[in-house]
Amino acid sequence: MTRKILIAAALAAALPALAAVYYFIDPASAVWAPKCPFRLLTGLDCPACGSQRALHAVLHGAWAEAMACNPFLVVSLPYLALVAFTTLRPPGEKSVLKYIQHPVTVRVYLAAVIGWWILRNTPLWH
């Protein structure tokens, strides 16, 4: 097997397993849930702070709760799903790949992450 097929198979197995864990276990009350090292060191939120709780809420259909935990993650879900799809896509399927993994798309998303990181730590957000 090629490396790409192994990565796709690992993702295809890991994503449903991870979703099951976050469906059944609430990270807000789970002691084992990882804590954000950036927040522990600085007291500020990183772009992903609240993502575990937001994912748990999304899996339960509680969209308002998910938006309260991490709105950037919630609005990023379609893009992240497309990234996963392009990783798991059938061989030869490149129509979506050229847009999703295009350098401009990746840079725009990275700029949005950085913008979210800054915004969520300003008094305007709180």
- The one-character DSSP state at 26 is -
Question: Tokens for 89?
Answer: 């896509």
The pLDDT-based confidence of 122 (bands split at 50, 70, 90) is very high
Amino acid at 64: A
C-beta separation of 23 from 59 below 8 A:
yes
What pLDDT score was predicted for residue 102? 85
Give the C-alpha separation, 97 to 106, whole Å. 12
Q: Could you read off the pLDDT of 37-90 as tens digits, one per residue?
A: 999 999 999 999 999 999 999 999 999 999 999 999 999 999 988 887 777 666
Residue 126 pLDDT more than 80? Answer: no
pTM metric for this prediction: 0.80
